[in-house]
Structure 1
Amino acid sequence: MVLWKKEVILALLVAICCSELLMLFAQTGTGESLLTFSIASVERVVAVFQSEGNTRILVFSLLVGALLAFMRESGGVTATVNFLIRKGISGSARRSRFLAFFTGVIIFIESNLSVLMAGIISRGLFDKFEMSRARLAYIIDSTSAPICILLLLNGWGAYVLGLLGNYELNESLVSILIATIPLNFYALITLAVVVYTIWADKTHGPLKQAELQQQRTHKHLDLDVEPSKPSFMLVPLLTMSFSMVLFMFVTGDGNFTQGSGSKSVLYATVLACVVSYVMMVGSKRFKHIEMTKIGFNGMSELLPLVCIVLFSLALGSSLKELGTGAFISGLVAENLPLFLVPAMLFIAGGLMSFTTGTSWGTFALLIPIGMPLVINLDLPAPLLLAAILGGGVFGDHCSPISDTTAVSAVASGCDLLEHVRTQLPYALFAGGLTVLAYIATGMMVIGV
């Protein structure tokens, strides 16, 4: 539906209806199913708000629109771009690309915060040097999750440790996590490809067309406002970054790794909006009524993306109940040659993450399959775990219903469908190389 109509929302609605219809066929007669599946689809969307985490994601997505509008209308974005160029930090297109990359590397606490910070900081610079927003979305999306899954001193690491805690493994859990780093081929290859595109200034496929289109139209969306002071952008951003760390400690009762990423990102964004509001009103250039209008205009710009996130969450819930993940898990048959098990776990993880839009949900489904294989067949735990983690991130990069994909589009100001279309060839290339790497490594480590 996405490829045919170029319409994500319609595709998501059709997918939800199909999923609900299949479940009703299994439970009731055909006639009753046809009468009630539309009601079931509406209730599935409504049920998204029963989850506090889902509601936080939706509110956070709206507030990001308000924050972006505050920083743009204050003149802070234009002033920051001029400041970075004047200081030589981003005095060229290549430096601007590397700034987006290294911002994502440094902020490895949480993937959504990583893409948000990198996107907001860099979008004005990309406009200045006539680089497409699709290219920015690709860089920040393909940097954040791979870095988070490699540098596991964050909520990702705590979550994976919790899933591993149910199994009696020969090695310590921390040592297994550390050993996955050189074996997480997808994350390493993806980062290498990103660095190549940044340094060599090479783009391919749909992304190359997006670059040519940007250069023809000369869009400078965030730079149309007269510059004021860089502080109108930098202070809210720094507030969001440091308060995110603080809220991770607060929500984790003093333990950073136990903190809630969804709560912390939301609270940090709310605080950044408040700081930006106070600064702008305090400057005497803006009044409360004007700020309210700016905030709601910013939210309205992101409303289509928020709808996509809402329907994506509903579809993920429906597919989980339908048993899509369990079905794909069953494709990893135990009678396969053992050296193919890592590659099959990676492929299964990619398919599950693509269809459900969640890498963490994929970890929860595949680790209980992979770890018993480690115990019963004496397979290397780091290799199988790395394949599962990499597969989850791979599918997440390809999926139009992933929350990280949507936030990357929000942060960069890129159309979601364009972001998926331009990133997909790079993700598939890295995924293909990863499958070959896991087959070769399986033959060397496990044996034919």
Structure 2
Amino acid sequence: MNKAVIPDMVSNPTRWVLFYGMIMAGFAYLSTLQPEGESYGFFSMLPALLILVVAVLTKKPLESIFAGIIAGLLLLNPAGIVTGLGDISLAVVMDETIAWIVLVCGMMGGLINMLERGGSVLSFGELLAKRIQTKRGTMLTTCGLGVMVFIDDYLNSLAVSASMKNLTDRYKISREKLAFLVDSTAAPVCILVPVSTWAVYFAALLEENGAVAEGKGMSLYIESIPFMAYGWIALVVVFLVAAGILGDFGPMKAAEKRAQEGQCIPDGGQQMGFDTSNLRKTSPVVGLINFLLPMAVLIAASVYYEIDLLLGALVASLFTMVLYFWQRLLSFSDLVDSMLDGFKVMLHPIAVVCAGFMLKDVNDQLGMTPYIIDTLTPYLSKEMLPALVFAAMAAVVFATGSSWGVFVVSLPIVIPMALAMDMSMPLTVGALLSASAFGSHACFFSDSTVLSAQGSGCTPMQHGLTQIPYALLGAVFAFVGFIMLGFWMA
């Protein structure tokens, strides 16, 4: 499509209605060509491709995902689109994972809001500003904090970005680069640490799918860590960028140029949205303690409750409320308002993540994941299995944004395939986790991408477009690495 037409389409709703109407009519027509009871084949990938096209045109992830959902439902059953939309909406709302995500995101937003209003984040930033005197030092510190907050990618995305925004603004670092530094040390780091929510989830999933005997899931996960190529490469890439060894390129170069001219926050970007009009000022030492103590309690409580960030966030929120009320930093009413406002600020990211799960449901009904795996199966060999598993699952997670949910469908296919070929199970698991980390890192509507953008003060599309060249660079090296490992270990 001619780029000159796009601004006119944006300003002209009639053209958008015609644009979407023609596309949706096309999907409804394709449904009539589908023989009943047969696989949708290539048609199953069309809703995901539509999402990418609409996202590039509109720069709006939520609208793009819903366009893909409607298109998928039309492909499944045009006459039942309303009931289909109602059914998947209800299924997603009732899903235990979604409930966990909503509560974790909301409580994390409330906790960070309390830290903001109590002056703790400001004190932490001011203390860092006295110790860090260079742009490079600021970026390396951001990466270092991201690695230290390894227990969960949600905690990383929100806490690190909130504590580093003022300092990165001081050295004219774009919010897009801050989001990249934060996001690159979220999922890619979490998969490399056995004490994380990712490790606990996938270890249980490996046991359920027969990859290892019951009780041995975590042992297999730990054996697989050296083979999680994308996690290691993404970590190297982000530190090279932070150190200034790997320069800016693509959309990131334009974002950094804009920041150097004095505009760190991009057009359309915004702060987390917290009300800091009644910000409390404390001494730097007290402020630092008030910041570090809740973070320490959050991590300790999460570990104590078997790496459950929800219970950790609950304990940390209660602890912070008592701590701040005891110091008279905030009244009880202010503390409650902080928690509620935190939930409100996180509504848009939560909506995007929920829409992503609805899309996954539609893709599952269309059979997209089995189609991609079946298409690659004729090209599989023992040597190429890890590389093709990485490529296929990375594409699926990127298209759906569901770095966890996809593997409930794919593991029952991939694990028996690896066992039949007698391929190294740690290498296979490493390829799967690498694919999951890449999808979470690169997809513009994945949970960690959306939260990193929200915390850093840019839109998910601005973050996604500036980050994807670096993510693709890491993916290419990881793919080559899996080819080499496959031939070496076959």
TM-score (norm 2): 0.77
Query: Could you tell me whether the CA contact under 8 Å between 1:134 and 1:210 is conserved in 2?
Result: yes
Give CA-to-partner distance per residue, 1:50-84, whole Å, 9 cap, x none.
12331232243344444444433444333322222
Query: What does residue 139 of structure 1 align with?
Result: 181
Query: What does residue 404 of structure 1 align with?
Result: 448
Query: What does residue 395 of structure 1 align with?
Result: 439
Query: Could you tell me whether the CA contact under 8 Å between 1:131 and 1:215 is conserved in 2?
Result: yes
Give CA-to-partner distance per residue, 1:391-444, whole Å, 9 cap, x none.
111112121231122222233233211111111111111111211222233233
Query: Could you tell me whether the CA contact under 8 Å between 2:300 and 2:312 is conserved in 1?
Result: no
Give CA-to-partner distance per residue, 1:163-218, whole Å, 9 cap, x none.
33353769x76564344233222111111100100111632211222222223234
Q: Which runs of 5+ in 2 are unaligned?
A: 1-53, 266-270
1:208 pairs, out of 253, 256, 265, with: 253
Query: What does residue 47 of structure 2 align with?
Result: none
Query: Could you tell me whether the CA contact under 8 Å between 1:169 and 1:375 is conserved in 2?
Result: no
| Equivalence map 1:89-168=2 (5 Å) | 90-165=132-207, 166-167=209-210
Give CA-to-partner distance per residue, 1:324-348, whole Å, 9 cap, x none.
2232232340553332211110011
Alpha-carbon spacing, 1:179–1:75, altered in 2? closer, same or farther (3 Å): closer
Query: Could you tell me whether the CA contact under 8 Å between 1:21 and 1:37 is conserved in 2?
Result: yes
Q: Judge which range, 423-432 or 330-339, deviates more.
A: 330-339
| Equivalence map 1:70-85=2 (5 Å) | 70-85=114-129
Query: What does residue 422 of structure 2 align with?
Result: 378
- Cα deviation, residue 7, structure 1: 1.7
Matches of 1:51 and 1:238, distance apart in 2: 33
| Equivalence map 1:168-247=2 (5 Å) | 176-200=220-244, 202-219=247-264, 228-230=282-284, 231-232=286-287, 235-236=290-291, 238-247=293-302
Q: Which amino acid aligns with 1:401?
A: F
| Equivalence map 1:216-365=2 (5 Å) | 216-219=261-264, 228-230=282-284, 231-232=286-287, 235-236=290-291, 238-250=293-305, 256=306, 259-261=307-309, 263-264=310-311, 266-268=313-315, 270-271=317-318, 274-275=321-322, 278=325, 282-283=328-329, 299-333=343-377, 336-365=380-409
Aligned positions, number: 423
Instruction: Name the SS of the counterpart of 2:423 in structure 1.
Output: coil
Q: Which amino acid aligns with 2:311?
A: S
- Cα deviation, residue 237, structure 1: 5.1
Instruction: Name the SS of the counterpart of 2:467 in structure 1.
Output: helix
Instruction: Name the SS of the counterpart of 1:200 in structure 2.
Output: coil
Alpha-carbon spacing, 1:106–1:199, altered in 2? closer, same or farther (3 Å): same
Matches of 2:219 and 2:378, distance apart in 1: 26
Q: Which amino acid aligns with 1:271?
A: L
1:7 pairs, out of 60, 69, 75, with: 60
Q: Which amino acid aligns with 2:465?
A: R
1:423 pairs, out of 467, 479, 482, with: 467
Instruction: Name the SS of the counterpart of 2:384 in structure 1.
Output: helix
Matches of 1:233 and 1:205, distance apart in 2: 37
Matches of 1:436 and 1:271, distance apart in 2: 48
Alpha-carbon spacing, 1:287–1:182, altered in 2? closer, same or farther (3 Å): closer
Matches of 1:133 and 1:154, distance apart in 2: 27
Alpha-carbon spacing, 1:276–1:48, altered in 2? closer, same or farther (3 Å): farther
Does residue 18 (structure 1) correspond to residue 71 (structure 2)? The answer is yes
Q: Which amino acid aligns with 2:67?
A: V
Query: What does residue 28 of structure 1 align with?
Result: none
State, as a whole percentage, how many aligned pairs show the same letter: 26
- Cα deviation, residue 306, structure 1: 3.1
Query: Could you tell me whether the CA contact under 8 Å between 2:149 and 2:156 is conserved in 1?
Result: yes
Query: Could you tell me whether the CA contact under 8 Å between 1:352 and 1:392 is conserved in 2?
Result: no
Instruction: Name the SS of the counterpart of 1:143 in structure 2.
Output: coil
Matches of 1:293 and 1:175, distance apart in 2: 44
Alpha-carbon spacing, 1:78–1:323, altered in 2? closer, same or farther (3 Å): same
Q: Which amino acid aligns with 2:65?
A: L
Alpha-carbon spacing, 1:189–1:327, altered in 2? closer, same or farther (3 Å): same
Alpha-carbon spacing, 1:403–1:267, altered in 2? closer, same or farther (3 Å): same
Query: Could you tell me whether the CA contact under 8 Å between 1:56 and 1:266 is conserved in 2?
Result: no
- Cα deviation, residue 272, structure 1: 6.1
Matches of 2:336 and 2:200, distance apart in 1: 39
Alpha-carbon spacing, 1:299–1:369, altered in 2? closer, same or farther (3 Å): closer
Query: What does residue 46 of structure 2 align with?
Result: none
Matches of 1:229 and 1:73, distance apart in 2: 14
Matches of 2:322 and 2:170, distance apart in 1: 27
Alpha-carbon spacing, 1:74–1:377, altered in 2? closer, same or farther (3 Å): closer
- Considering only aligned residues, what root-mean-square deviation do their CA atoms show, in Å? 3.1
Give CA-to-partner distance per residue, 1:104-163, whole Å, 9 cap, x none.
222222222233332222222212222122112111211121222122233323333323
Matches of 1:332 and 1:174, distance apart in 2: 29
Alpha-carbon spacing, 1:407–1:271, altered in 2? closer, same or farther (3 Å): farther
Instruction: Name the SS of the counterpart of 2:304 in structure 1.
Output: helix
Instruction: Name the SS of the counterpart of 1:331 in structure 2.
Output: helix
Query: Could you tell me whether the CA contact under 8 Å between 2:298 and 2:313 is conserved in 1?
Result: no
Query: Could you tell me whether the CA contact under 8 Å between 1:237 and 1:272 is conserved in 2?
Result: no
Query: Could you tell me whether the CA contact under 8 Å between 1:67 and 1:272 is conserved in 2?
Result: no
